[in-house]
Amino acid sequence: MAGHSKWANIQHRKGRQDAARSKLFSKLSKEITVAAKMGDPDPDKNPRLRLAVKEAKSNSVPKDVIERAIKKATGGDAENYEEIRYEGYGPNGVAVIVEAMTDNRNRTASNVRSTFGKNGGNLGETGSVAFMFERKGEIVYPATAGSADDVMMAAIEAGAEDVESSDEGHVIWCADSDLNEVSSALEEALGESESTKLVWRPSTTTELDLDGMQSLMKLVEALEDDDDVQRVTTNFEASDEVMAQL
């Protein structure tokens, strides 16, 4: 029975991973379709689409899925999605920003509000937490891209604002409006990045213990499980010990 139970657990975990992967592909495809519909369907002529395709590739989205998402926009049968940002507070006063794309604003607002309420949070007004974040371009490179000094020099020459290097890799920050240019310059200097996207970077953070992190993760996972939600950003901070326990 123990062996069967272990196998069942492995199967269940694999099922959850496959479902999460499928949901991620769907959300990245939606971003590609919206970007292509709003501008030129050629990534070289459409900065937003170029970044969307780049992010999809970094998450191993198959080429045919990417091409299908672009064709959907040019074929005229794509849904009319509206981009909406929700702001609120999670457990222990953590600031939360939810970015969504929806074809039904009422449905999405109702679902997001309900998810906050069921998981110890409160949905606030637009602007209620955004002041605690800055809109930035984030470019991530693996540690193998070079030493901290080499990456810093490349980032400065590319027009970036800041670099955070660690054993895990390098995170390069730039102004949101400069992301396309900076990422292109870094690509020539350092090669393909692991991730290139616009993010909300916290300017103030809220420290959480293990219980607080577990409560926050329940809220974030529930929000991300919504098909209309593209991404969730929080301003939590936790010690290495707490993250290891998670």
Domains in the chain with CATH codes? 2-74 (1.10.10.200), 81-246 (3.30.70.980)
Q: Residue for token digits 């054993």? A: 167
User: Cα separation of 125 and 217, whole Å?
Assistant: 22
CB 204, CB 130: distance < 8 Å: no
How confident is the model over 138-171, as pLDDT tens digits? 999 999 999 999 999 999 999 999 999 999 999 9
Least confident of 41-45, 111-115, 127-131: 41-45
Confidence of residue 59 (pLDDT cuts 50, 70, 90): confident
pTM of the model: 0.83
CB 119, CB 156: distance < 8 Å: no
What average pLDDT does the structure give for the chain?
88
Identify the residue with better confidence: 13 or 60. Answer: 60
User: Cα separation of 13 and 99, whole Å?
Assistant: 27
Give the helix, strand, coil percentages of the chain, each rounded to 5: 55, 25, 20
| Predicted pLDDT of residue 18 | 62
Identify the residue with better confidence: 65 or 18. Answer: 65
The amino acid at 85:
R
How confident is the model over 69-111, as pLDDT tens digits? 888 888 766 678 889 999 999 999 999 999 999 999 999 999 9
How confident is the model over 4-31, as pLDDT tens digits? 344 344 444 445 566 677 888 889 999 8
